[in-house]
Structures are given as C-alpha cells and as structure tokens.
Amino acid sequence: MPATATRELTTLDRCDRCGAQAYVRATLASTGGQLFFCAHHARDVEETLRPSTSEWLDESASLHERPAIVD
C-alpha cells in the first residue's frame, strides 16, 4: 500500500462532491487514494465509506471554534 503523508487540511482542500472547503480526508485502505469531503457530505458517506478507509481525518470540529479575541 502506498505511504501517504499525513497533514492537516487547508483552505485549498476542496470537497470532491461539491467543491466546498474540505474538512474530512478519507484515505482508502485498498489503494491509498484520498477523497475529500465537506462536513455535510462526509456525514452522508461516513457510514458506508469509513469501514473501507485506513484513515478518516475529521477536522469538522474547527467549524465550531471561536476565534481568539485580541485586545
């Protein structure tokens, strides 16, 4: 299986279904290929896709983070 470099998602990573910012990266166990999803589409496919992945990186919690206030 090909080695994949683990990194955080950036604003340049886009959902493969709709083009919105990706918050989930699914690495397929069979090929090492990667799929990117926005939080909405990740929820839609997680139940069926996640068992076939070697990594499911979910950064959707960052959607609920509040920015630090600087005085």
pLDDT by 10s per residue, the chain, length 71: 444 456 799 999 999 999 999 999 999 999 999 999 999 999 999 999 999 999 999 999 888 877 778 87
Instruction: Establish if 8 belongs to a structural domain.
Output: no
Residue 19 placed within a domain: no
Rg, Å, the chain Cα set? 13
Let me know if residue 37 belongs to a domain. Answer: yes
Any domain includes 4 = no
Direct distance between the N- and C-terminal alpha carbons of the chain, in angstroms, rounded to an integer: 50
Residues 24 and 16 sit within 8 Å (Cβ to Cβ): no
Helix ranges (H only) for the chain are 39-49
DSSP-assigned letter for residue 14 = B
pTM to 2 decimal places: 0.81
- CA–CA gap between residue 15 and residue 32 (Å, rounded): 18
